[in-house]
Amino acid sequence: MDREIIESHVTLEEYKKIVNLLGRKPNLIELGIFSAMWSEHCSYKSSRPHLSKFPTKAPWVVQGPGENAGIIMVDEEKEICAAFKIESHNHPSFIEPFNGASTGVGGILRDVFTMGARPIACMDSLRFGEIDNPKMKYVMKGVVAGISHYGNCVGVPTVGGEIYFDQCYQTNPLVNAFALGIVKKEKIFYAKAAGVGNPVIYVGSKTGRDGIHGATMASEEFSSEEEVGKKVNVQVGDPFVEKLLIEACLEAMKTEGIIAIQDMGAAGLTSSSVEMASRGNVGIKLELDKVPVREKGMTPYEIMLSESQERMVVVCEKGKESKIIDVFEKWGLDACIIGEIIEEAAIKLFWHNEEVAKIPINILTDEAPVYYRPFKTPKYIIENRNYIQNNITEPKNLNEITLKLLSSPTISKKQWIYEQYDHMVQINTAVYPGSDAAVLRVKGTEKGIAISSDCNSRYCYLNPYEGGKITVAEAARNVACSGATPKAITDCLNFASPEDPEIMWQFVKCTDGMADACRVLDTPVVSGNVSFYNETANKNGKRAIFPTPTVVCVGVLDKIENKTTKDFKNKEDIIILLGENSGNISGTEYQKLIQGEFKGTGQTIDLAFERILQKSIIEAISKNLINSAHDISEGGLAVTLFESAFDNNLGFKVRLDDEIRTDFLLFGEEQSRIIISVSPEKENETLEFFKIKTIPAKIIGKVTGKEGTILHKEKTVVKISIEEAKNIYESNLERKLEQ
């Protein structure tokens, strides 16, 4: 049994607790179930004490955390809701990039349509190591191919996302997948089992040996030497079956009788059955020999822990099971009764009429260990307090610096990626990838939904509390720049080992900052995922990722016709800067370019001002004062101006008079700043509007012809043709991938 304890990934202390709770030693099947349900991925045993500080309620929140996806109200009159969630598929995507990423998309789609919602959009947040590394090129190409393959084949558009490159992700890339669907309020389904004697139906694909112990693999660090051996833990998906499953589930939901429905995600049949029973305070009996399998000789252990894709569990009213089964069989899917709901609050497993496992439900859920991990301030934080950015020598050629920033893989245009995605299928996409936020139509209404994925992990590394605030604020600001009111967020909290007190400190401070931002900005957390152990051991020691709490903000436009994009629209339009410049380059792309590393205390943000800024930009857009709006982020003011110019091939001439060193002024990434353009006839009205709102609004120039020109006081410091800058901005990522 000692060897079995080690292979089960439970600690010796956890094993002793299991024996004490059961009153006996668990058998191998039971130990495997505990291993999955008590894993970090399923139990949140290190993060749970800190997640409770997130605000989760608001008048527009229909369903908060605890279900497969969060749900908010989009149209009160027509009771149309949006269901959405983001989750990680990090380790699988490094081990097997194509299948790891594609099954990440499949899994998050199931979380959404399990709620009764038809998926209408996907996004992805990706982090890779330096793009010059051959392994990273391989991983990146595989991940992008997997995302595009699954999304395109299943017929759900990938409408946006983000991608960052940094050395810290060299051996641990991040793949966070998001999906959103639309559902009428009265058509929402939940995963809460009920009704003693009601049948449990298995639907979807057959069960195989792929993905066994996937949940535990996602809850541990691994070494580079283990990579090949862990390929068996990665699932293999089939988007064509997923499409059938979507249609079959949505049709079956129209048939009376379904009480609860649950995706078989992490830990497969184990987690889906236990979680459904736990929510309903009932027990569940499963006859595992009735589970459809695609491989010979599969054991109860393998069947319970398999993470084969495109599978669901349905609980329906007794006597109505044949109608439900008929629907799934019509769509060519497996559908059969594998058990029933029982009064005793336990999971009972049978194999050819012999009971092979029995565990009380509450032991697997309520009694799962909770760790109050110690945390302490990292040494690098203390050392960085003495950083002085003025020690950097100011470059003489700022044209060259601007072009280098525009060609940076993190900043440069990602068309090589999103051109592989079908972002127009279902014809709901109103603002395409590349603007501050994607915007979706809500058919049958005047409403629109805006979504933006954000996280600058460099800020979170240098100052986790402020970085956590900024992550939420920037996602919401991007949504606001589209004209939508931010309503809620879903998050994917990617960190290294919680057993390291310095990593745990990053987690605590980041989530503190996120919680504060959510409260101030009225964006409750309605769903999410925690991904720990994002670090890899090799002969040089451990390499941990930067803290990366990815956030997707979802907002609502009352009238989609008011949607706004980042690009300048007309020559002679007035360019206005909202917010104040301070020239902070800590954690910026410019600092990486000049120094090759990140130093200082990072960026900071005033949430009270951010709230006013966002509400003001939304109102200004609704009043049709603004032609374009673009959040100033990576690369600073100079990069933002050029990005605003490219789409319509328009130039600009801008003069800045701030008493700040020129390079810091152009490339600093201080928060709560937006570049807007307005028609000349609306100049005075716009300035007066923002004055009343107490938002600093300064005319800095106008939209022109073929060049981007920036003056600092009376000196021209940047002058580049739009054609040259655009060519570099649009071609560099693809060129680097081909090298």
Closest-CA residue to 446 (of 524, 544, 562, 537): 562
Closest-CA residue to 420 (of 734, 104, 644, 13): 734
The DSSP H or E segment spanning 338 is strand 334-342
Closest-CA residue to 674 (of 655, 659, 695): 695
CA atoms of 328 and 366, how far apart (whole Å):
34
Paired with 491 in beta bridges are: 528, 551
| Cβ neighbours of residue 397 closer than 8 Å, sequence gap 6 or more | none
Strand 707-712 vs strand 651-656: parallel, antiparallel, or unpaired? parallel
Structure tokens at 76: 């009160």
What is the length of the chain? Answer: 739
Count how many Cα atoms sit within 13 Å of the Cα of residue 278 in the half-sphere of its side chain: 20
Closest-CA residue to 364 (of 279, 260, 259): 279
CB distance 2 to 213 below 8 Å: no
CA atoms of 715 and 336, how far apart (whole Å):
76
Closest-CA residue to 46 (of 537, 495, 550, 547): 495
Alpha-carbon dihedral sign for residues 662, 668, 672, 675: positive
CA atoms of 36 and 30, how far apart (whole Å):
10
SS3 per-residue string spanning 57-81: CCCCEEECECECCEEEEEECCCCEE
CA Rg, the chain, in Å? Answer: 26
Place of tokens 């409408």: 159
Instruction: Judge residue 637's burial from the number of C-beta atoms within 10 Å of its C-beta, 0-12 exposed, 13-18 middle, 19 or more buried.
Output: buried
CB distance 513 to 469 below 8 Å: yes
Longest CA span, the chain:
87
Place of tokens 């992008």: 144
One-letter amino acid of 191: A
Closest-CA residue to 549 (of 616, 458, 632): 458
Helices assigned H by DSSP within 130-224: 134-154, 214-217
CA atoms of 611 and 629, how far apart (whole Å):
16
Helices 464-481, 607-622: inter-axial angle, 10-degree rounding: 10
Rama region for 541: left / alpha / beta (φ>0; ψ in -120 to 50; rest): left
Active site members:
41, 89
CB distance 143 to 126 below 8 Å: yes
CA atoms of 586 and 601, how far apart (whole Å):
7
